[in-house]
Amino acid sequence: MSILLLVPPGWGGLWQSPLSVGGRKVYAHGVDPYDPAEIVYAVSFRPPPGLLKSLPNLKAVFSLGAGVDGFLLDPDFPKDKPLIRFVDETLSREMAQFAVLHVLMQHRTVAHFAAAQAESTWRQRMLPRPTEETRVGILGLGEIGTVCAERLRDMGFPVTGWSRTRKSVEGVKSYAGAGELDTFLAGCDFLVCVLPLTPDTRHILNTETFARLPKGAYVINIARGGHVNEPDLIAAIDYGHLSGATLDVFETEPLPETSPIWKHPKIIVTPHVAAITSPTAATRSILSGIATIERGEEPKNVVDMTRGY
């Protein structure tokens, strides 16, 4: 029952030893020689295209991240094998912390006071808008989006959410489907994107979408870089329709040094750190999933290949 780790160079040690519990052999791809026929389970963020197809006795694939778009980009991904998402309370909580942090930074005008401090100036000001009148929209009400919505709701913000299907979250108005997207967007002073990346959601944040937001809206993307049409975002900010954005994820990562996003005065850049997978939690989840499969039972959090999440 051997496991293959397909992770960036130097990362194998984070998971190799914990996953070896019970005498399992755990190979780090690119480091350890292995026989493809020996591999029963694969663990990865974004495996090399075609590699998973080369494992003849593969039973299941485990994602080390909340998103699985890196797997679905592989045209040869063995779709008859279960692909299991990583769902973890800690990951969801930290993503929500990041969303709350950046909503509050803008809502409480942190940049204004930082500039005043730099000038040694006592510059008081009221909130631009009362909290109870500052509307936050969560684009994607899955596990992570729900926690984001609940945390912001509990701080007194009116919170709405949009997803493919109707959701039920206490105190959060749910919008669903393409027919309700425009209505949802019109009520977002802050828009937090936590959608899965699928062909339907790629570049969902574009010129048309931004135009549906109220003037002065602020965009926060903690999902995938492919959700944002980056030139459209810059244009919407420069034209004055959007007040700014926080981006934790990008079309190309690392973000190229030549990208205008780096130096844009109204965009906050963080390097894909809204939440980072805990090796301890991931190991626990993987071992639990393997045990479930070996008992002949259906594992939790299997990706629906027709939806892409």
| Ordered domains of the chain (ranges, CATH) | 2-88+277-294 (3.40.50.720), 89-269 (3.40.50.720)
Long-range contacts (CB closer than 8 Å, 24 or more residues apart) made by 206-210: 206/232, 207/232, 207/235, 207/236, 209/185, 210/236, 210/241, 210/242
Residue 189 has pLDDT above 90, yes or no: yes
Can 224 be counted among the known catalytic residues? yes
Which pLDDT score is estimated for 197?
Answer: 95
Asked whether the beta carbons of 213 and 191 are under 8 A apart, the reply is yes
3-state secondary structure of 51: coil
pTM of the complete model: 0.94
User: pLDDT digit string (tens) for 215-240?
Assistant: 999 999 999 999 999 999 999 999 99
| Nearest-angstrom CA–CA distance, 199 and 180 | 19
The one catalytic residue among 46, 107, 164, 224: 224
Residue in 24, 203, 212, 272 annotated catalytic: 272
The answer on pLDDT for 58 being more than 90 is yes
Average pLDDT on 171-175 reads 98
Q: What is the DSSP letter of 124?
A: -
Contacting residues for 193 by C-beta, under 8 A, at least 6 apart:
139, 140, 204, 205, 219, 220, 221, 222, 223, 227, 228
